[in-house]
Amino acid sequence: MITEMNIGIDYHQESLQVCAMERDGKVIFNRRIKNDVNAIIEVVGKRSCKVVAVAEACNGSAAFLDELQAKAGWQVKLCHPGYAQRMRSNPDKSDKSDSELVADLTRVGYLPEVWLAPAAVRDLRALVRYRAQKMEEQRAVKLRIRSLLRNNRICLPVKLSLWTKAGISWLESNAELPSHSAWVLSRHVIELSHLQAEIKITTQRIKSYVDEDSLCQKLLQHKGIGVITAAVMRAEIGTFSRFKNGKQLARFCGVSPCNRSSGEIVSDSGLIRSGNPLLKLCIIQGALSLVRYDDTYKTFAQTMLARGKPKCVVIAAVANRWMRRLFHLVQQ
């Protein structure tokens, strides 16, 4: 009698490679089926045993596992995407071997698992990442405008800020450019105006969410955290209680030092090469604010600077300490 079944799923947009494995490692089946929750439930059949289904973290797999858990009642897990990345260099890699390996790693308890965020958190991620994309597009347009002005040797009037209303009006009325360049500039200005309006609408939508979310309200009570930072933390971190300690949280955020110790030599090599870039950016910006306006962190930063530490190292250290402390202050 089967007491436990581990199901490894190699997820694809149109199909699934599904491997079902018993507790003792015996493969029950390993077959390709269409990408449909009802199809995998039908293939596995009704089981009285414990069923654990695992899929690689990729586009669509989290929503698929949510639906699978709701319809079948199985325990579901996400496999770290870095595992599949390393498997690509395997000369014997195939969908069949991947699904079997995922099932086997789950069976023995060595699955490189990642947190399966609730649907509401994943939905918020789409919103904050959309705003970040528009901010990046706005930055690119501004760079193209400046490049066009420099290329035609046009200097700004004294004490005029280019991205204010007065600066935009000056761009729109600039008659020094050749005809084609002037037309291109006008298109850039229109695009910039559209992006600014889109960012404003998106920011208002984020603010509406933050006003109603209890964790975001807790975050806003702390220095260095504004509406956007609170929303990004909520979207990318999810819940602070899923971490064991502040050190684990700081490492997840990518603000832990990278250890390069060997033998008697103990040294660091910058920050670890991990963490969500948007989350890390917001935390570093928050750390810069703390160094300016929070007496505790200002004193800490001045002490490190007096010891000859570079400013970038000091800000990283502040960010690391801040995340560790924030873990204990915000538990939800």
Q: Are residues 23 and 90 in the same domain?
A: yes
**221 in a structural domain:** no
**Residue 109: burial class (beta carbons within 10 Å; 0-12, 13-18, 19+):** exposed
Q: Are residues 100 and 31 in the same domain?
A: yes
Q: Binning pLDDT at 50, 70 and 90, where does residue 199 land?
A: very high
Which domain-ending residue is among 196, 212, 228? 212
Q: Are residues 70 and 99 in the same domain?
A: yes
Q: Are residues 110 and 127 in the same domain?
A: no
**84 in a structural domain:** yes
* 79 neighbors 111 (Cβ within 8 angstroms): yes
pLDDT in tens, 64-113: 999 999 999 999 999 988 776 666 666 677 889 889 989 999 999 999 99
Token digits of residue 214: 């209890």
pLDDT at 142: 97
Q: Are residues 159 and 83 in the same domain?
A: no
Q: Are residues 101 and 164 in the same domain?
A: no
- Pick the range with the lowest mean pLDDT from 35-49, 122-136, 191-205, 266-280: 266-280
Beta bridge partners of 10: 17
pLDDT at 84: 63
Q: Binning pLDDT at 50, 70 and 90, where does residue 267 land?
A: low
Q: What is the CA radius of gyration of the chain?
A: 26
Token digits of residue 284: 């570093």
Q: Are residues 105 and 143 in the same domain?
A: no
**162 in a structural domain:** yes
pLDDT surpassing 60 at residue 31? yes
Mean per-residue pLDDT of the chain: 91
Q: What is the dihedral of CA 69, 70, 71, 74, to 10 degrees?
A: 30
* 82 neighbors 112 (Cβ within 8 angstroms): yes
Q: Are residues 11 and 101 in the same domain?
A: yes
Q: Are residues 57 and 13 in the same domain?
A: yes
State which residues form the domain around 313.
241-329
pLDDT at 159: 83
Q: Binning pLDDT at 50, 70 and 90, where does residue 117 land?
A: very high
**233 in a structural domain:** no
Which domain-ending residue is among 195, 212, 229? 212
pLDDT surpassing 80 at residue 259? no
How many helices and strands in the chain, by DSSP H and E?
A: 13, 8
This prediction has a pTM of 0.89
pLDDT in tens, 170-191: 998 877 889 999 999 999 999 9
How many domains, the chain? Answer: 3
Token digits of residue 28: 């029950």
Q: Are residues 94 and 136 in the same domain?
A: no
Which domain-ending residue is among 92, 114, 136? 114
pLDDT in tens, 287-303: 999 999 999 999 999 99
> Mean pLDDT, to the nearest integer, of 32-40?
95
**218 in a structural domain:** no
The residues, ordered by sequence, that sit 6+ positions from 168 with a Cβ below 8 Å of its Cβ are: 189, 192, 193
**234 in a structural domain:** no
- Pick the range with the lowest mean pLDDT from 46-50, 181-185, 239-243, 274-278: 46-50
Q: Are residues 48 and 141 in the same domain?
A: no
Q: Are residues 199 and 270 in the same domain?
A: no
- The single-letter code of the amino acid at 86 is R
For tokens 């990004």, name the residue: 232
**104 in a structural domain:** yes
**165 in a structural domain:** yes
> Mean pLDDT, to the nearest integer, of 113-130?
95
